[in-house]
Amino acid sequence: MTPIDPNDTEGRLRDATNAYTDTVEPAPDAWALLRERVDEGRRRQRSRTIGAAVVGAAVAAAVVAAMFLAGGSDGDLVVETPPATDGPTTTSPGAPSAQCDPGQEPRPRVGSTAVQVWFFCPDAGLSDSPLVPVWRVVEGTDPESIVEGALQALVDGPTSVEQERGFGSGIPEEVWGANVDATLSDGTVSFDVDYDLAGINNLSTSNMSLRWWYAIGATVFAIDGVEALDPSGACVGEFDCTMPFMPDLLDEANLGAQATSEDCSGARAILWEQVGDEPPPAVAATRFSIADAAAVCDWEALRALMADDFSYSFGFEPNADGAISYWQDAEAAGEPIMRTLAETLSQFTTESEGHYQLGDPSEPLGYRVVIREDGAWTAFIAGD
C-alpha cells in the first residue's frame, strides 16, 4: 500500500473514514429488528389525515418545528418528507421546483432573524402534500422572539404571491393572521393564541413538536389565556386538540433546512446596550450601518462606509488585497472577524480630536473601531 502524504489532508480523510467504516457492519439481527419496528409503527398508526406545516428557525442553530393539523377524512397519514436530493420530481430547499419556488434566503438586519416557514406545495412533485420552505425575517435574535415570530409567520399563511406559486397552508384561511404570543421561561415555551385558532385540529401536535426543540423542555398552549393542553400534551376542557398518531421525532426529520446565515460570523455577534455617552448622530448612524453589514458579511456595504484613509492593520501587515479581502480570508479560515467587528461596535465610546473610538478601554491594544465625527469610518484595528 502506498503511504499517504502527511500533507494530503483529503487523502488521509478518505483513508481513515474508509478504514473505519469498513469495520462497521449491521447487527446480525438488523433485518428482524427493522421488521419488528415497522410492524410496531403500523399497529400504532391511526386512520386520519394530518396536514402538517413545519417552521424551522435559522440563526444560531435555533430551530423550532411546529406542526398544525388541517383535519380531513380520507384515511391517509401525511408524513412530512425530509429533503430529497436526486429524484427528478422531488422538491427540497436545495432543489426547488419551478412551481413552488422557495425564493432566496433573505439577509436579516441586526436584531432580526431569518426563519423558514414550511407550507404545502401540492404541485412540487414528491407526493400530493409535500412541504416546501419559504423565508421570513422575524424581529429578534433570542429564542423566545424567534419561536414566536416563526410560529406567527406560520399562522399568517403564505403570501398572495406564494399562493399564486402554489403554496397552501394546513391552517384554515379564515384564521390566518390570528395572534400568537410566546414566552420562554425556565426551558418552557408558552404560546397563547387567539380563540379562532382553537378550531384548528390539532394543537397538541404543535405542543409535541416543540418539545423536541433542543432549548425547550416543555411547551404550554393557551387559548385566550386559558390553557388548552396540560403538561403531558393532553387536551384540556372544551378544546379540540386530541392527540393523533405521530411517530417519535417525525418533525425533526424536517430540520435539515436550517439556514446558512451561520456562514457569516457577524450573525452570531452578541450585542448589548452601549454604556457611556451617545456619540453624535453621524457617528451613531455609521456605527449601526457597519453593524448591519457585519452581521451578514455585506462586503460592498462595508467598503462603501470606509474612508479613503481607512486603516485595518491588526498588529501586523495584512495582505495586499485590502481590508475586504483580508476579512474574507479570515472568515473563510474560521476566524470570526465580522463577529469581532460587530461586538466591538457595541463597546465603549471615547472621543479624541473629533475621532470616536469604540472598544474596550481596559484593553487599549485590543480591537477598536474609529469613526470620524462626520461619520466616516476610518479604522478597525488592533495592536499598536
- Residues of span 240-299 touching other proteins by CB under 8 A: 247-250, 252-258, 260, 262-263
**Of residues 126 and 379, the one with the C-beta less far from other proteins:** 126
**Of residues 250 and 323, the one with the C-beta less far from other proteins:** 250
Q: How far is the CB of 23 from other proteins (least distance, A)?
A: 4
Q: How far is the CB of 228 from other proteins (least distance, A)?
A: 26
**Of residues 197 and 208, the one with the C-beta less far from other proteins:** 208
Contact 141, 267 (CB under 8 A): no
Q: Which of 2, 281, 334, 352 binds other proteins (CB under 8 A)?
A: 334
**Of residues 27 and 275, the one with the C-beta less far from other proteins:** 27
* Buried-exposed string 339-366: b where 16+ CB fall within 10 A, e elsewhere: bbbbbbbbbebeeeeeebbbbeeeeeee
**Of residues 14 and 303, the one with the C-beta less far from other proteins:** 14
- CA-to-CA distance for 70 and 176, rounded, in angstroms? 13
Task: Assess 37 for contact with other proteins (CB under 8 A).
Answer: yes
- CA-to-CA distance for 131 and 380, rounded, in angstroms? 44
Q: How far is the CB of 163 from other proteins (least distance, A)?
A: 23
Chain position carrying cell 446596550: 273
φ/ψ of 141, rounded to 5, equals: -125, 0
Q: Which of 77, 218, 243, 284 binds other proteins (CB under 8 A)?
A: 77
Chain position carrying cell 461619520: 375
Q: Which of 50, 59, 92, 175 binds other proteins (CB under 8 A)?
A: 92
Q: How far is the CB of 349 from other proteins (least distance, A)?
A: 33
Build a one-symbol-per-residue string for 127-166: x at contacts with other proteins by CB under 8 A, - elsewhere. xxx-------------------------------------
60 torsion bin: left (phi>0), alpha (psi -120 to 50), beta (else): left
- In 3-state terms, what secondary structure has residue 221? strand
Q: How far is the CB of 81 from other proteins (least distance, A)?
A: 7
Residues 337-376 contacting other proteins, CB under 8 A: none
**Of residues 29 and 277, the one with the C-beta less far from other proteins:** 29
Q: What are 369's three cell numbers?
A: 473601531
Contact 379, 311 (CB under 8 A): yes
Residues 177-216 contacting other proteins, CB under 8 A: 212, 214
**Of residues 116 and 378, the one with the C-beta less far from other proteins:** 116
SS3 content of the chain, % helix, strand, coil (to 5): 30, 20, 50
- CA-to-CA distance for 346 and 337, rounded, in angstroms? 15
Residue type, 118: W
- CA-to-CA distance for 359 and 275, rounded, in angstroms? 11
**Of residues 275 and 333, the one with the C-beta less far from other proteins:** 333
- What lies within 8 Å, CB to CB, of 107 at 6+ separation is 114, 261, 296, 298
- CA-to-CA distance for 369 and 290, rounded, in angstroms? 10
CB under 8 A: which stretch of 78-86, 145-153, 224-232, 312-320 binds other proteins?
Answer: 78-86
Task: Assess 32 for contact with other proteins (CB under 8 A).
Answer: no
- What lies within 8 Å, CB to CB, of 306 at 6+ separation is 323, 377
Q: How far is the CB of 121 from other proteins (least distance, A)?
A: 13
Task: Assess 76 for contact with other proteins (CB under 8 A).
Answer: yes
Residues 104-123 contacting other proteins, CB under 8 A: 105
